[in-house]
Amino acid sequence: MSEANTITKNAKSNLAFTLLDLPPEKRMHMAQFYAFCRIVDDIVDEPGMTEQERHTALNRWADIVKGTIEPQPGIETEVSQLVTTLQLNIAPMLELIEGCRGDIVPRQPETREGMLAYAYKVASCVGITSATVMGASPKAHDYAVALGYALQLVNILRDVAEDCRKYGRFYLPKQDMELFGVTHEDIRNQNYNYRVRQLLAYEAALAEKFFGEAEELYQQLPVEDRNALIPAQAMSLIYHNILTKMADDEYRVFERRYSVNNFRKLWFLLRARLGTVEFPSFPSISDWNFFKNKDNGAEK
């Protein structure tokens, strides 16, 4: 098994799951690209490295992508060959590296524009390259950008407590926190209150906007591009379901980490293959009236 496949398999990520839909060669290429993304992200997040060591490691990966140094056998060679074989535009990959670099000494974005600038580097750029690796045409660029924004906003909302606790990072815009009267101490101390709920709902509305925009752009793509992007559409459905769960649960992100089980992921992958018109959300059991006896309301 290649090092890229090992990294992808061990990550057990939502993206890795959706790659099941791809033919073997494209699946291998996506595993190589995913492994690259995983590694540069881990360089910033994993403990035991100094700031300078993190910068040096990211610099090496930038040089590998640019082809200015000889890659070591293993994942470095796999990524280098991927860039050469598919003649990838390396600009988005370099943007991703710089986005991760910004997390070495994290700075809270002042505005939504700043938050989206960060999301573009660490998520939309991943989407742009992924679309190419999956076989989509340049027409999918705007779709990849919009979906990247949506997915990263869900990550920011879901992981707000963990990002603060483990890394001291605040990705929610300073202006938005001030607008709703939410302080850093509220996040650090995990104060679940009305102000926090309103702030998270406010940012969730922005994520909904980008999910809707991505879906509209997807439906406008040629059928060949839509078929190539089925894994991306599955990701959209999975993450939108996470967003819906958070909203239905009033954003209790300090108490739990929202996720989707493998059965539901497989369902969303099937939905993406069949085509999506709207983002489905499953009703709660209490809403499933067909489980109830219509005469007395008792469940059968």
* pLDDT at residue 19 in the model: 81
Residue 65's pLDDT band (cuts 50, 70, 90): very high
DSSP character at residue 120: I
For the stretch 15-35, pLDDT in tens is 777 887 789 999 999 999 999
What average pLDDT does this structure show over 118-130?
98
Quick check: 126 and 77 in contact, CB under 8 A? no
CA distances from 83 to 36, 158, 200, 292 (A): 11, 32, 38, 57
What average pLDDT does this structure show over 174-197?
96
- Entry pTM: 0.88
* pLDDT at residue 254 in the model: 96
Quick check: 96 and 122 in contact, CB under 8 A? yes
CA distances from 115 to 99, 102, 111, 124 (A): 11, 12, 6, 12
The residue ranges of every structural domain in the chain are 1-105, 106-283
* pLDDT at residue 16 in the model: 73
Residue 291's pLDDT band (cuts 50, 70, 90): very low
SS3 90: coil
Please state which architecture CATH assigns to domain 106-283: Orthogonal Bundle (1.10)
Question: Cα(6)–Cα(205) distance, rounded to whole angstroms?
Answer: 37
